[in-house]
């Protein structure tokens, strides 16, 4: 099977396909393709599935692949939309590939101000938008046919719903079988392990007698309890344990930090979080790049809705409150960073676009929030980072398996909220792991009850409970940002490098979107800024260049 990190195919009527980065036949656009049994997919099977658009939904995420036969190309992505691939079409010309920036240059695309406005507030793009007008991401569970200068979009065949009334046993059995299949065909597997519930669920799906062959891998920050919890689990089950502390990023100089972050932004086409990507890339360089078991996607079964009240429909008030509380508050670039016109315009455009996404959901409010996580946050916020990683290692995200997701989505929202349902699945997989405290101090089994003060206090001291509850309230009210591990450290170093090399910000400064006075104060050291803003400036330099 051919594997390509980068590939672009261009179609012009009356001409042979113009192909770069790969050749004829099937090409995997990730390090490996995992089938529905957890096994590597053979090249012949990949060709058949792409040719017939058959059982593509059953392939593990992340996944994308390209098939070139004659003068037609087929390109497909996974059912979650984790692996990002892009397409563009103009009169008499169409193209698809792994780089939105390359397609933008080839098509002469301008900046999509509405899409960039959403990124400014939400920290990710929506639907199939990119920062480049006319360049679109391939939607989850879809494929393109490229021929005769046209790009045709279709959804691939849906998997039949399992349709079980008692989802937890079937859910647990599917996770167990999928993980076992992956372990059967991959040696020296590494497990991303934290103090949280999602990675705990993946560990529980590994048969106890097979855990000794795993290596647990954890990234830790100052004050994090993940490392201690993961280390105890590794010792308990005889797993090798590797830990990377992001404090090691302090050893980098400003120039090295800038080079890492800028390289990450270019890899992500200016569409992601370059500081986080650079930090993760550095952390990954400290550990062996073996096949990976990951807990990404656990939100699909947990249905966590902090402070959200159920409503039978999607109401304007609920939408606006949710956007301001949980989207803008965490990821927005502040108004003073931008020109007055763009600050106002981007607020209006982004709010309108975000409202449209929620209001097109003809369902109850909590289900609409859940779909937003699946179709937007999961695909566009997490997916851009996962796309970066799938080029380097084979990864199985069992919590996003199509059958697993169907079991979870069949459970009423009220039973999934507060992680109640997923704890039942965990308890079926491994009752012991369901009773070992998480990094929060709570035992998972305590979550399988109504969310009450008694439940919280039963697992915490008064002091611990008030500290945790207070931090959530303060974060919500004060719009405190949540930065990924290592991003703030790199942000400080990048700003220091900019102050010594202000010309590196020329492209962003000339975009007409950044407040020149604010930028001058940043460069002369009068003010500081955060990782979210540094990300935006780095990306803008890539997008506008």
Based on the number of CB atoms within 10 Å of its own CB, is 260 exposed (0-12), middle (13-18) or buried (19 or more)? buried
Q: Residue 397 falls within a domain, yes or no?
A: no
Q: Residue 355 class from Cβ within 10 Å (0-12 exposed, 13-18 middle, 19+ buried)?
A: middle
99 falls within a domain: yes
Q: In what order do the strands lie in the sheet with 240-245?
A: 240-245, 215-220, 190-192, 292-293, 395-396
- Structural domains of the chain, count: 1
Identify the domain containing residue 97 by its residue range: 2-155
Q: Which long-range contacts (CB under 8 A, 24 or more apart) does 44-51 make?
A: 46/1, 50/26, 50/74, 50/76, 50/143
Model pLDDT for residues 159-216, shown as the tens digit of each residue: 776 666 679 999 999 999 999 999 999 999 999 999 999 999 999 999 999 999 999 9
Contact assessment for residue 125 and residue 378, using Cβ atoms and an 8 Å cutoff: no
pLDDT digit string, tens, across residues 149-167: 999 999 998 777 666 667 9
Crossing angle of helices 531-543/254-267, nearest 10°? Answer: 60
Q: How far is C-alpha 57 from the geometric centre of its chain's CA atoms?
A: 18
| Residue 83 forms part of a structural domain | yes
DSSP letters of 297-351?
A: TTHHHH---TTPPP-SS--HHHHHHHIIIIIIHHHPPPGGGB-HHHHHHHHHHHH
Cα 184 to chain centroid distance, Å, stands at 27
Residue 132 resides in a domain: yes
**β-sheet bridge partners, residue 18:** 10
- Cα–Cα distance measured from residue 353 to residue 366, given in angstroms and rounded to the nearest whole number: 19
Q: Is residue 213 part of a domain?
A: no
Residue 477 lies in a domain: no
Which residue is it, tokens 């975009």? Answer: 511
Residue 97 belongs to a domain with what CATH number? 3.60.20.10
Contact 431, 185 (CB under 8 A): no
pLDDT averaged per 10 residues, the chain (length 545): 92 95 95 93 94 93 96 96 96 96 96 97 96 97 97 88 77 96 95 94 96 94 86 96 91 96 97 95 89 88 73 93 83 93 97 95 88 88 91 92 90 81 95 94 83 46 44 38 74 97 97 97 96 97 96
What's the pTM? 0.91
Cα–Cα distance, 62 to 80 (Å, whole number): 8
């Amino acid at each position: 099977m051919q594997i390509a990190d980068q590939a672009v195919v261009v179609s012009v009527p009356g001409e042979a396909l113009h192909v770069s980065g790969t050749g004829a036949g099937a090409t995997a656009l990730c390090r490996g393709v995992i089938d529905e049994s957890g096994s590597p997919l053979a090249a012949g099977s990949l060709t058949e599935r792409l040719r017939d658009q058959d059982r593509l939904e059953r392939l593990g995420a992340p996944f994308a692949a390209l098939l070139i036969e004659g003068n037609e190309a087929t390109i497909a992505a996974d059912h979650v939309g984790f692996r990002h691939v892009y397409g563009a079409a103009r009169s008499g010309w169409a193209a698809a590939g792994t780089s939105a920036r390359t397609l933008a240059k080839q098509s002469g695309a301008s900046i999509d101000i509405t899409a960039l406005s959403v990124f400014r507030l939400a920290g990710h793009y929506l639907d199939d938008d990119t920062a480049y007008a006319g360049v679109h991401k391939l939607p989850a569970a879809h494929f393109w046919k490229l021929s005769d200068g046209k790009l045709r979009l279709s959804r691939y065949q849906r998997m039949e719903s399992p349709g079980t009334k008692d989802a937890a046993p079937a859910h647990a059995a599917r996770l167990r079988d999928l993980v076992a299949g992956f372990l059967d065909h991959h040696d020296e597997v590494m497990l991303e392990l934290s103090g949280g519930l999602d990675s705990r669920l993946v560990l529980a799906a590994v048969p106890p007698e097979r855990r000794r062959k795993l290596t647990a891998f954890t990234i830790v920050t100052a004050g994090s309890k993940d490392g201690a919890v993961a280390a105890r689990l590794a010792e308990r089950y005889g797993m090798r344990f590797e830990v990377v502390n992001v404090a090691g990023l302090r050893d980098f100089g400003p120039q090295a930090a800038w080079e890492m972050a800028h390289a990450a932004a270019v890899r992500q086409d200016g569409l992601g979080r370059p500081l986080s990507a650079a930090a993760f890339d550095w952390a990954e360089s400290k550990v062996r790049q073996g096949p990976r078991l990951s807990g990404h996607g656990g939100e699909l079964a947990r249905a966590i809705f902090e402070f959200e009240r159920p409503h039978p429909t999607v109401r304007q008030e609920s939408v606006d409150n949710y956007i301001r509380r949980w989207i803008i508050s965490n990821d927005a670039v502040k108004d003073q960073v931008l020109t007055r016109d763009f600050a106002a315009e981007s607020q209006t455009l982004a709010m309108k676009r975000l409202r449209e996404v929620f209001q097109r959901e003809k369902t109850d409010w909590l289900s609409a929030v859940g779909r937003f996580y699946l179709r937007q946050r999961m695909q566009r916020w997490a997916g851009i980072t996962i796309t970066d990683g799938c080029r380097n290692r084979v990864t199985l995200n069992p919590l996003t398996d199509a059958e697993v997701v169907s079991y979870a989505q069949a459970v009423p929202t009220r039973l999934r909220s507060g992680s109640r349902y997923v704890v039942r699945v965990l308890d079926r997989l491994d009752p012991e792991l369901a009773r070992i405290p998480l990094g929060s101090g709570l035992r998972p089994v305590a979550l399988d009850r109504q969310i009450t003060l008694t439940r919280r206090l039963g697992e915490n001291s008064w002091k611990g409970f008030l500290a945790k509850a207070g931090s959530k309230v303060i974060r919500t009210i004060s719009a405190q940002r949540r930065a990924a591990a290592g991003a703030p450290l790199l942000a400080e170093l990048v700003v220091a490098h900019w102050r010594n090399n202000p010309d590196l910000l020329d492209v962003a400064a000339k975009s007409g979107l950044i407040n020149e006075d604010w930028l001058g104060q940043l460069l002369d050291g009068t003010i500081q800024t955060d990782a979210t803003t540094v990300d935006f400036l780095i990306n803008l330099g890539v997008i506008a260049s």
